[in-house]
């Protein structure tokens, strides 16, 4: 059996979100990637041929004797799209009587609809695993672009570009965006700043996001009314970048707060009663920065605690019955490996240390 595995981190604390989409001519985003991953495992063995796709988190599965038989029906559609566009073949080259039986298994460290860009992480990891199986060498930015194309062209979804780039590249990144193009500039944090952030970030799952595609369409339809808000989101990303470079976490918390206020003005359902209750509780407990991740409407929020107040903020979160996730910062981005071969033959898909 041949096996390739890939993992890609999710994105959090995305200042400037929405300005990386087609509705904003020019924008900027600052985001982080967490040591929370989506994993894709591709297994292939000789047999009668066929493909099986399975989510180990939801127990959803799809089987087909032919890749052309995969249909988009709301069950593992992003994974189906990755397979369909990959050019993968079930026929073994040179062995016309032998076919591949392929299984692609996925799981994630984060809850569904968390607002952390887990669909982008799935697309990035799936494309990378399929490319490794096909012997195709790709740069992280190429993987990110193909993953974004899966969503907007193959599945006709609305998607920006920041999630895929963050997941493929890892680390902390500032992006200047002219959709669909983006200039990615990694931020190398001072080690003391990173230690403080990892101690004081509190990443909270408030519950499954209900910010529906219909609401996305409404934000898009009313984009002309929100130019000032998009400008404020862009400004928050720039201010956040400058604060991190200066090592000023109080200014960074202020940039988070500015972003959250502008984000909420885009649509009333971007916040929820649960998020508002959390906001009030953690401010009273010592938070200095707060914003919902992704589109909002539930999902996760990133909180920045004041120095020596993290334990109080966490206690306030737990008192509300909400889940705290790891906010340790990933530094490697997309990784691909072959468990049967420690060295592997896909170094072009590995990021340097």
CA nearest 263: which of 12, 19, 10?
Answer: 19
**Of 36-45, 79-88, 172-181, where does mean pLDDT reach its minimum?**
79-88
* Alpha carbons 181 and 27: distance in angstroms, whole number: 11
pLDDT confidence of residue 273: 95
* Alpha carbons 314 and 305: distance in angstroms, whole number: 9
pLDDT confidence of residue 349: 40
CA nearest 135: which of 342, 339, 344, 335?
Answer: 344
CATH number, domain with residue 156: 3.30.230.120
CA nearest 262: which of 24, 6, 75?
Answer: 24
* Alpha carbons 154 and 148: distance in angstroms, whole number: 10
**Mean pLDDT computed over 59-80:** 91
Structural domain total, the chain? 1
- Beta strand 50-55 with 99-108 is parallel
Encode pLDDT of 75-112 as tens digits: 999 999 999 989 888 876 665 667 889 999 999 999 98
Statement: the pTM of the whole predicted model exceeds 0.85 = yes
State which residues form the domain around 63: 2-349
* Alpha carbons 13 and 241: distance in angstroms, whole number: 12
pLDDT confidence of residue 154: 87
Complete DSSP assignment for 196-245: HHHHHEEEEEEE-----HHHHHHHHHTGGGGHHHHHHHHHHHHHHHHHHH
Give CB contacts under 8 A, 24+ apart, made by 227-232: 229/262, 229/263, 229/265, 229/266, 230/18, 230/19, 230/23, 230/24, 230/27, 230/262, 232/258, 232/259, 232/261, 232/262
* Alpha carbons 81 and 127: distance in angstroms, whole number: 10
3-state secondary structure of 337: strand
Return the bridge partners of 100, or none. 46
| 8 A C-beta contact, residue 285 and residue 200 | no
Encode pLDDT of 121-147 as tens digits: 999 999 999 999 999 999 999 999 999
Give the number of C-alpha atoms closer than 13 A to the C-alpha of residue 210, restricted to the C-beta side: 9
Q: Which residue is listed with tokens 């944090």?
A: 189
Encode pLDDT of 241-276 as tens digits: 999 999 999 999 999 999 999 999 999 999 999 999
């Amino acid at each position: 059996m041949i096996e390739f595995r890939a993992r890609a981190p999710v994105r959090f604390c995305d200042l400037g979100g929405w300005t990386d989409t087609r509705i904003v001519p020019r924008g900027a985003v600052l985001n982080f990637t967490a040591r929370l991953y989506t994993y894709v495992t591709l297994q292939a063995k000789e047999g009668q041929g066929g493909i099986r796709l399975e989510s180990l988190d939801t127990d959803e599965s799809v089987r087909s004797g032919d890749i052309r038989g995969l249909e988009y029906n709301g069950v593992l559609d992003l994974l189906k799209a990755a397979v369909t566009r990959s050019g993968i073949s079930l026929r073994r080259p040179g062995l016309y009587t032998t076919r591949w039986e392929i299984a692609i298994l996925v799981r994630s460290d984060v809850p569904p609809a968390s607002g952390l860009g887990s669909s982008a992480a799935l697309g990035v990891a799936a494309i990378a695993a399929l490319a490794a199986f096909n012997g195709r060498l790709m740069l992280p930015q190429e993987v990110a672009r193909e993953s974004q194309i899966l969503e907007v062209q193959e599945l006709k979804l609305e998607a920006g570009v920041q999630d895929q780039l963050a997941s493929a590249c890892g680390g902390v990144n500032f992006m200047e965006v002219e959709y669909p193009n983006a200039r990615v500039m990694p931020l190398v944090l001072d080690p003391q700043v990173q230690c403080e952030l990892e101690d004081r970030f509190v990443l909270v799952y408030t519950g499954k996001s209900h910010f529906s595609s219909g609401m996305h369409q409404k934000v898009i339809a009313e984009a002309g009314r929100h130019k000032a808000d998009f400008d404020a989101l862009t400004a928050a990303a720039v201010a956040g970048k400058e604060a991190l470079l200066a090592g000023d976490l109080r200014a960074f918390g202020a940039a988070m707060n500015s972003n959250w206020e502008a984000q909420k003005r885009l649509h009333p359902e971007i916040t929820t009663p649960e998020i508002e209750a959390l906001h009030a509780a953690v401010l009273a407990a010592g938070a200095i920065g707060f914003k919902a991740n992704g589109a909002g409407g539930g999902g996760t929020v990133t909180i920045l605690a004041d120095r020596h107040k993290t334990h109080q903020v966490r206690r306030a979160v737990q008192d509300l019955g909400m889940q705290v996730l790891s906010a340790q910062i990933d530094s490697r981005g997309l990784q691909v490996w072959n468990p049967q071969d420690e060295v592997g033959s896909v170094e072009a898909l590995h990021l340097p240390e």
